[in-house]
Amino acid sequence: MKKIMYILCLFIILIILKYYLGDYTVNYNIDKFNIEEKVLDGYTYIKINYEDNTFVYKFDLKRGLKRNRVESIKLNETDGYLCVMPIIKNLDTYFLCSKDDDLFTLSTLDVLEEVKFSEDIEYVNKLNYNEFIYLWKYDGFYTLNKDLETINIFNSDRYSNDLMYSFDKYIVFPVYDKEYLFSDFYLLDMSTGKYKTIKTKYSINYDSYYVGNRKNNIYLFDNKNNVLYEINYKKLNVKVVGDEMKGFIKYEGNKKKSASLSEYTNDKITYFSGEDSFLEVNKNYYSYDGDTWIKYFSEEDIEVVGNVNNNIYFIYEDNLYKYSNSNVSLILHYFEYNFNKSNITFCYNK
């Protein structure tokens, strides 16, 4: 009898922990607003429906004991825009505005004055102590935090950097010491500016792509040699986990499954952690649940390069900006942005 009571109590405790600490989705109404509140992978997603308009938000707001986090909603109509802002206790939120089936923030580039610069790179408004930005400069990085500094890694410029992959506080990239093949990787810690070498016994072609990550592992597929590598950035080692002899693997959720070669060569499958999350950045647009789009800025030529802790970092023309709490600030002028914006800016917040 005692054993049964123990099991029953344990079961009840697990149910309570799941309810108060696990992911969830709830729907509720405030006045004429219908709200979907979703907690997933440490983030809180708020979807607000009002009349024929949908507004979606992603907040770095951890799971709490209370559900139904939205306490009220502000409504504002101006210049043909219908704008709403959810009010959430102890959280700075912002207005999203709907017009012609697009969503905009109230802050646009129109509020910024044109600034002239005399140098190719100028650090304008300094970041907070916990913000770090790294700019690829072909032989290393410029680093932005308290000051603008440099990290020189290579003896000559490397213009193609397709194999740079940023996650959490790290950037991983090849040791660019050969023209067509490489063997080793660098692992750079953006919080310290220090980097380590991940050595391998393999010759890997630059014609490769990162396919996914799970726990401490990053997966890279070599298109030329049809080899799948597993890079363990904690243990600093690399091993082959797929080739034409042993077959291939892939991940669906947290489950490892068999895969075919054509899934990598033709379908270009990926399985990055969080790539199925409900709010994802793609240049100037954010998708929610695959069917709703936010257009954050009215200008078309915007490239969002980071969305960290409710800070959105973006490039417009040859300047880097930060959007936070409905305010836009100019961080950096970088003349190189006129020629290259792709995969050269990496953001991290402690």
| 58 has a pLDDT exceeding 90 | no
Residue 123, classed as helix, strand or coil, is: strand
What was the pLDDT predicted at 100? 75
Q: What integer is the mean pLDDT of 269-296?
A: 58
Tell me the average pLDDT of the chain.
Answer: 84
Mean pLDDT on 71-83: 87
Structure confidence by residue, pLDDT tens digits, 145-162: 999 999 999 988 888 888
pLDDT of residue 251: 93
DSSP bridge pairs for 304: 314
Nearest to 73 by CA among 93, 53, 59: 93
pLDDT at residue 283, as a whole number: 47
| pLDDT for res 109 | 45
Q: DSSP strand E in 146-277: where? A: 148-152, 165-167, 170-174, 181-182, 185-189, 195-198, 204-205, 208-214, 217-222, 227-232, 237-242, 248-252, 255-259
Q: What is the pLDDT of residues 326-343, one digit of tens each?
A: 677 889 999 999 999 889
Q: Is the pLDDT of residue 273 over 60?
A: yes
User: How much is the average pLDDT of 15-23?
Assistant: 60
- Cα atoms in the Cβ-side hemisphere of radius 13 Å centred on 184: 10
Question: 220 pLDDT exceeds 60?
Answer: yes
Query: pLDDT band at residue 323, thresholds of 50, 70 and 90?
Result: confident
Domain residue ranges in the chain: 23-106, 121-349
The pLDDT assigned to 278 comes to: 41
pLDDT at 305: 87
Angle in degrees, CA 331, 307, 252, rounded to 5: 155
CATH architecture under which domain 121-349 falls: 6 Propeller (2.120)
Cα–Cα distance measured from residue 222 to residue 230, given in angstroms and rounded to the nearest whole number: 11
Give the residue-averaged pLDDT of 89-112: 71
> What pLDDT sits at residue 195?
96
Higher pLDDT pick, 338 / 67: 338
Q: pTM for the complete prediction?
A: 0.73
